[in-house]
């Protein structure tokens, strides 16, 4: 099953986690000082919290069950003549994944990905700059954070 993904920027991850525990009535699936992830079963949604400008959308996405599904979607999107940033075997947000990024007509970033394994580190992936929407750039942060995307 595909799962919808929303990543929100927050001023303080720990404070936001306490709030979302109350709102959602569940514990985070992943919790680190600079990252938290809630996995909501019904409807299936992944809510990620990352440091940044409070109340801002970091990005949207879809988590696919397998890397084969990501490849299928990548081919489909490329056939629509959309610019993509492809990332294979990348560590980001405490997970190793195959993914690609696209922007919609309004500049909203979409992350299409399949998780291959959990990771011990936040990540070191190439980011998508907010200033240069389609060009990859080196970043100390992974592409799922506002600093890197």
- pTM greater than 0.85 (yes/no): no
Q: For residue range 113-146, what is the model confidence (pLDDT) as tens digits?
A: 999 988 888 886 544 434 334 433 223 235 554 3
At 114 the pLDDT is: 94
Over residues 53-74, mean pLDDT: 94
Q: Where are the domains of the chain?
A: 1-120
Can you point out the beta strands (E) in 11-122? 30-32, 35-40, 45-51, 57-63, 85-92, 95-103, 109-118
Q: Which CATH superfamily is domain 1-120 in?
A: 2,3-Dihydroxybiphenyl 1,2-Dioxygenase, domain 1 (3.10.180.10)
């Amino acid at each position: 099953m595909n799962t919808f993904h929303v990543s929100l920027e927050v001023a303080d991850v720990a404070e936001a986690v306490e709030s979302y525990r109350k709102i959602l009535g569940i514990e985070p699936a992943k919790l680190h000082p600079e990252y938290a992830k809630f996995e909501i079963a019904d409807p299936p949604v992944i809510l990620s919290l990352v440091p940044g400008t409070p109340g801002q959308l970091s990005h949207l996405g879809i988590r696919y069950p397998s890397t084969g599904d990501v490849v299928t979607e990548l081919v489909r999107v490329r056939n629509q003549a959309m610019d993509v940033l492809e990332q294979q075997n990348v560590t980001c947000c405490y997970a190793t994944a195959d993914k690609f990024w696209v922007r919609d007509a309004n500049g909203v970033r979409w992350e299409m990905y399949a998780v291959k394994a959990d990771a011990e580190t936040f990540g070191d992936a190439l980011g998508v700059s907010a200033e240069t929407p389609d060009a990859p750039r080196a970043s100390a942060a992974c592409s799922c954070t506002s600093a890197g995307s």
